[in-house]
């Protein structure tokens, strides 16, 4: 029988040519660091609902879902109609628009604690802006983040965020303090160092909950501790915003951050993101008709495509659907069905591992199990990464692609409201077959 790698090469044969063309154009042959899949990435052409189709016209059940931006699946009618209509009326109007106002109102409808909102074009921009705002507000320099937590690829987000440090200046690294998610450590550092501007946290744990935080207690402890020390509390909701609940993690767990960063779902599959939070902090971006303030102290933020009309149209349509159509409840129910089925597949195939997760994100671990409730896993950071090295996650993703399913990074399934019961059951069967294939090859 052909190996998984051979079957992969056969199934995605036309992608090899596209990869060769890409290697002559892009550093590493791809335009995003996670798009590479050994021995080459599959190249996709179009998508609809829970499916995407590659250049060989394979139908793939998709759980990458625009890297988490597509809570309603691919090309939902209300979003595509809004995008098409606006594209015909202008993609960039070069000034303030009614669209950006209605867009911010749609955000605040779901996240009413955000007193002000400012749009950006990506999650990386949003966390960078939030950190800058925190520094300007406090007059302090350092940011506390947590081990493994990913906040984009700018210099201040990179340390121990699962990324390499090439090109990051030491001066930037010196302003970042990386801690384990231990509230006693946070309290110690904030007590000993009076130059801390903010604490930022991925709201559901490292890498969108691969190593979950024990919430809501940890987030509440952070809120209380930062308040006590006068430090800005930033909840990174780039992934969790509008997914863990219609209002995200801070609404789900009734935590009020000083600042929140959002991207992905907020833009309905278009490039878009935002920062929101306390008015006194956000207003540091406002001009005051005071030359000294405006030129020396104001927090500057540009962005050619901030809330551009097509993104605003997609975001408004998505957020209105989330507010009125039970999108989250549907996606959450399908994720629960998937999680239960995956755990049954581990048992049925006598493979050590488990699935866990909350809301519409389902994580998997092969090689270790624990006594968790399959919601918030209790495995340690080191144990998760010891049992799921990159070679294994690539093998898992490749095996599932061979069997017609694409996972997020070989670690997770990002479920949408477009995934119905039959699609979930097909996914469970494909995952079960992937476990058999990997076991037969001695990969697990």
Instruction: Give the mean model confidence (pLDDT) for residues 107-121.
Output: 98
Instruction: Give the mean model confidence (pLDDT) for residues 274-297.
Output: 95
Which of 277, 304, 324 delimits the end of a domain?
324
Q: Is the pLDDT assigned to residue 326 strictly greater than 80?
A: yes
Q: Give the pLDDT of residue 439.
A: 93
Q: Give the pLDDT of residue 219.
A: 98
Which of 324, 358, 380 delimits the end of a domain?
324
Tell me the per-residue pLDDT of 419-443, one tens digit each, with 9 for 90 and over: 999 999 999 999 999 999 999 988 8
Give the confidence band of 444 by pLDDT, cuts at 50, 70, 90. Answer: confident
Q: Give the pLDDT of residue 36.
A: 77
CATH of the domain at 388: 3.90.1150.10
Q: Tokens 């160092």 sit at which residue? A: 193
Instruction: Give the mean model confidence (pLDDT) for residues 107-120.
Output: 98
Give the confidence band of 29 by pLDDT, cuts at 50, 70, 90. Answer: confident
Note whether 176 and 314 are same-domain residues: yes
Average pLDDT over the chain reads: 95
Note whether 269 and 346 are same-domain residues: no
Instruction: Give the mean model confidence (pLDDT) for residues 280-298.
Output: 95
Range of the domain at 134: 77-324
Note whether 111 and 137 are same-domain residues: yes
Q: How far is CA 336 from each of CA 167, 200, 242, 379, 415, rounded to the nearest angstrom?
A: 42, 29, 18, 20, 10
Q: Is the pLDDT assigned to residue 35 strictly greater than 80?
A: no
Q: Is the pLDDT assigned to residue 136 strictly greater than 80?
A: yes
Q: Is the pLDDT assigned to residue 385 strictly greater than 90?
A: no
Closest of 207, 149, 201, 200 to residue 357, by C-alpha: 207
Note whether 83 and 161 are same-domain residues: yes
Q: Is the pLDDT assigned to residue 163 strictly greater than 90?
A: no
Q: Is the pLDDT assigned to residue 2 strictly greater than 80?
A: yes
CB atoms within 10 A of CB 250: 24
Note whether 113 and 238 are same-domain residues: yes
Note whether 157 and 286 are same-domain residues: yes
CB atoms within 10 A of CB 229: 16
Number of domains in the chain: 2
Q: Tokens 């800005």 sit at which residue? A: 232
Note whether 366 and 354 are same-domain residues: yes
Cβ atoms 136, 297 nearer than 8 A: yes
CATH of the domain at 228: 3.40.640.10
C-alpha to C-alpha distance for 116 and 137, rounded to whole angstroms: 15
Q: Is the pLDDT assigned to residue 398 strictly greater than 90?
A: yes
Give the confidence band of 61 by pLDDT, cuts at 50, 70, 90. Answer: very high
Give the confidence band of 145 by pLDDT, cuts at 50, 70, 90. Answer: very high
Tell me the per-residue pLDDT of 69-87, one tens digit each, with 9 for 90 and over: 999 999 999 999 999 999 9
Q: Give the pLDDT of residue 1.
A: 74
The whole-model pTM stands at: 0.95
DSSP character string of 9-65? HHHTHHHHHHHHHHHTTSGGGSSSTT---TT----EEEEEBTEEEETT--EEEESSH
Which of 268, 301, 324 delimits the end of a domain?
324
Note whether 283 and 390 are same-domain residues: no
Note whether 125 and 262 are same-domain residues: yes
Q: Is the pLDDT assigned to residue 265 strictly greater than 90?
A: yes
Q: Give the pLDDT of residue 164.
A: 86
């Amino acid at each position: 029988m052909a190996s998984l790698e051979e079957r992969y090469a056969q199934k995605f044969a036309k992608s090899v040519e596209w990869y060769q063309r890409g290697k002559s154009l892009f550093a590493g042959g791809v335009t995003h660091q996670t798009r590479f899949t050994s021995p080459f990435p599959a190249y996709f052409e179009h998508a609809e609902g829970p499916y995407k189709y590659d250049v060989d016209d394979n139908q793939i059940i998709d759980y990458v879902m625009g890297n988490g931006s597509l809570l309603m699946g691919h090309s939902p009618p209300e979003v595509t109609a809004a995008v098409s209509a606006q594209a015909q009326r202008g993609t960039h109007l070069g000034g303030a628009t009614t669209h950006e106002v209605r867009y911010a109102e749609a955000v605040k409808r779901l996240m009413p604690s955000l007193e002000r909102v400012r749009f950006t074009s990506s999650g990386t921009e949003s966390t960078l802006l939030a950190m800058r705002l925190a520094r300007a507000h406090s007059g302090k320099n350092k940011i506390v983040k947590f081990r493994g937590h990913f906040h984009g690829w700018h210099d201040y987000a990179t340390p121990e965020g699962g990324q390499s440090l090439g090109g990051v200046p030491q001066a930037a690294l010196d302003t970042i303090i990386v801690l384990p998610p231990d509230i006693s450590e946070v309290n110690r550092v904030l007590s000993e160092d009076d130059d801390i501007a903010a604490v930022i946290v991925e709201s559901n744990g490292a890498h969108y909950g691969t190593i979950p935080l024990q919430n809501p207690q940890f987030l509440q402890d952070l809120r209380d501790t930062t308040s006590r020390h006068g430090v800005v509390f930033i909840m990174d909701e780039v992934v969790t915003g509008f997914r863990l609940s219609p209002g995200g993690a801070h609404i789900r767990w009734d935590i009020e951050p000083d600042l929140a960063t959002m991207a992905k779902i907020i833009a309905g599959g278009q490039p878009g993101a935002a920062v929101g939070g306390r008015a006194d902090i956000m207003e540091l971006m406002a001009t005051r008709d005071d030359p000294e303030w405006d030129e020396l102290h104001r927090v500057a933020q540009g962005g050619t495509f901030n809330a551009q009309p097509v993104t605003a149209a997609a975001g408004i349509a998505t957020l209105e659907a989330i507010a009125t159509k039970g999108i989250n409840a549907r996606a959450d129910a399908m994720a629960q069905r998937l999680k239960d089925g995956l755990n049954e597949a581990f048992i049925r195939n006598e493979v050590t591992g488990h699935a866990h997760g909350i809301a519409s994100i389902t994580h998997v671990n092969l090689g270790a199990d624990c006594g968790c409730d399959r919601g918030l896993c209790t495995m340690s950071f080191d144990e998760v990464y010891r049992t799921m090295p990159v070679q294994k996650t690539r093998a898992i993703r490749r095996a599932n692609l061979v069997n017609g399913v694409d996972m997020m990074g070989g670690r997770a399934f990002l479920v949408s409201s477009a995934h119905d019961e039959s699609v979930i059951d097909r996914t469970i069967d494909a995952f079960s077959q992937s476990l058999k294939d990997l076991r037969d090859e001695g990969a697990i």
